[in-house]
Structure 1
Amino acid sequence: MTNIRIVVVEDESATARSLIQILNETDEHITVVKTLGDVSGAVTWFNDHPGFYDLIFMDIRLADGLSFDIFKQTTISRPVIFVTAFNDYAITAFKNNGIDYILKPFDPDEIKSALDKYKNLTGAVEKPGGPVLAELLAQLGNLTRSYKKSFLVHYRDKLIPLETSKIAWFYTANEVVHLRTSDDKQYVVESTMEQLEQQLDPTLFLRVSRQFILNRNAVTEAEFYFNGRLLVKVKPQPNEHIIVSKARSAEFKKWMNS
């Protein structure tokens, strides 16, 4: 059997290692030739290695933007299996276009199924990444512009619709996610931080740490902190400091400056 050369585009190193381990355990004829963690690095590598890979496993949200930006800056002529947490509507788009998806956390059976689909696809189509991928990206580009406009929150014995634009920040503690509104009201949200990252408009909201997702309109200032980190001030101010790590500070500054 022909060896399958795979590129993994994933900004979380632990997630990338988990995926690679499952790939190697699933098929002995797989070689992961490169792991990439951001849009800019991926564009450079794909430009320099146009024929060095057969298949790509690609996360949608990367450290410096959406992976769709990669396709605007370089030519990808091989199939892509997206790693996603999109809702069922987006998942249907993947299925209809014949390129598979994998939801986090990874299921080895789903990875095997995706690889089987790739093998069937490459047996029938000379350049499977071409028109199919272009159509998929066009659909998903529209989907990425559809975000939650409101949240239904509990307050005593009532359900209250709350406009997303009025949320100053989200905070997680003890596996419970809270939100604080711009007028300083707090509610519990029945979502995980990972789900919120997919549901919120990335031009307006950014996950700046494991604990916080901020609305850019709530940010009042950022101070230089120890070891290249940033101390972010927001309104209303939470009870603990919001620290942006050195690794995330460039993304935060780009987000605030966009």
Structure 2
Amino acid sequence: MNVIIIEDEKPSARRLGRLLADLNIQVSVLLHSVEESVEWFKNNEHPDLIFLDIQLSDGLSFEIFDAVEIKSSVIFTTAFDEYALQAFKLNSIDYLLKPIDDEELEVAVEKYKYLQPKKEKIAIDFEDIKKLLVNPVEREYKKRFTIKVGQHLKIINAEEVECFYSENKGTYAATTDGRNYLLETTLEGLELDLDPEIFFRVSRKFYINIKHIKDIISYTNSRLQIKFNTYNGQDVIVSRERVKDFKLWLE
């Protein structure tokens, strides 16, 4: 299998390469920009599979497809919100949400292997996806959560949650009163419920509320540590792959 990665963040590209190596897949080429990719595709045989970041340093990766007819299968890697993910699903596109999970990567690769012998082409409507990225459909987000506490049901407002986190296979809401409530869902299950202007997934373990950030501290390996007004459980670390998007989200 001939595989290339198009990704402008070198740490993310190296990590993806290592995860693919664990699946016995070797990456033949690593590209970092729209311009570099267009030039490469014009002068080289196209690979079987492309792992493609959406937002590159010099523009959206869709511009590559505007300039060159790509004959490869594509698996997107993206840090965009759920609107983009809904578009990918509607168009039957494989995608991986950053930071990339090794199990999700394996599933995506297996899907490619399943489709490849059938010669099935995936229809990609880039214009529809770009419209959703620029002008996402307005939707309502959860304003409160109902939580079972013993024999009682307790209602907590989303604005009271400093962070959602996973621990010991459970998902918890840490609130401003210093309590931690077990939820009957997962962090992935919360994805469509949380307002992306207020909540951000900084790692595989944490969604944080921007309104309750007390301090942001430089951490090892170019990462960041988040401190809250109340929550003081696990260290809340912005993963290296999410630092760039986190800084953009803060603004």
**Residue aligning to 2:37:** 46
Give the CA RMSD over aligned residues.
4.6
Deviation at 1:161, TM superposition (A): 5.1
In the superposition, the TM-score normalised over structure 1's length comes to 0.61
Rounded to whole Å, the distance in 2 between the matches of 1:225 and 1:83 is 25
Deviation at 1:215, TM superposition (A): 0.9
Rounded to whole Å, the distance in 2 between the matches of 1:42 and 1:221 is 34
**Residue aligning to 1:34:** 29
Q: Does 1:56 align with 2:50?
A: yes
Aligned-residue identity in percent: 29
**Residue aligning to 1:115:** 116
Equivalences for residues 72-221 of structure 1 within 5 A: 72=60, 75-77=63-65, 78=70, 80-82=74-76, 94=88, 97=91, 99-101=92-94, 104=104, 106-107=106-107, 109-116=110-117, 119-121=119-121, 132-139=125-132, 148-150=141-143, 151-160=145-154, 162-196=156-190, 200-221=194-215
Question: Any conservation in 2 of the 1:23–1:111 contact (CA below 8 Å)?
Answer: no
Rounded to whole Å, the distance in 2 between the matches of 1:74 and 1:92 is 17
Question: Any conservation in 1 of the 2:17–2:27 contact (CA below 8 Å)?
Answer: no
The unaligned stretches of length 5 or more in structure 2 are: 97-103
Change over 3 Å in CA distance of 1:194–1:75 after alignment to 2: same
The one-letter code sitting in structure 2 at the alignment partner of 1:112 is K
The one-letter code sitting in structure 1 at the alignment partner of 2:116 is L
CA shift digits 1:123-170 (9 cap, x unpaired) = xxxxx76xx222344357666865742544322234455443332112
Change over 3 Å in CA distance of 1:137–1:226 after alignment to 2: closer
Rounded to whole Å, the distance in 2 between the matches of 1:45 and 1:201 is 35
Change over 3 Å in CA distance of 1:134–1:247 after alignment to 2: closer
**Alignment size in residue pairs:** 228
The one-letter code sitting in structure 1 at the alignment partner of 2:93 is D
**Residue aligning to 1:28:** none
**Residue aligning to 2:228:** 234
Question: Any conservation in 2 of the 1:171–1:177 contact (CA below 8 Å)?
Answer: yes
In the superposition, the TM-score normalised over structure 2's length comes to 0.62
**Residue aligning to 1:7:** 5
The one-letter code sitting in structure 2 at the alignment partner of 1:189 is L
Change over 3 Å in CA distance of 1:80–1:168 after alignment to 2: same
Change over 3 Å in CA distance of 1:121–1:48 after alignment to 2: same
Rounded to whole Å, the distance in 2 between the matches of 1:202 and 1:253 is 14
Question: Any conservation in 1 of the 2:163–2:207 contact (CA below 8 Å)?
Answer: yes
Change over 3 Å in CA distance of 1:184–1:5 after alignment to 2: closer
The one-letter code sitting in structure 2 at the alignment partner of 1:206 is F
Rounded to whole Å, the distance in 2 between the matches of 1:154 and 1:57 is 42
Question: Any conservation in 1 of the 2:225–2:238 contact (CA below 8 Å)?
Answer: yes
Change over 3 Å in CA distance of 1:5–1:207 after alignment to 2: closer
CA shift digits 1:41-73 (9 cap, x unpaired) = 4546435534354543346xxxxxxx3678636
SS of alignment partner, residue 63 of structure 2:
coil
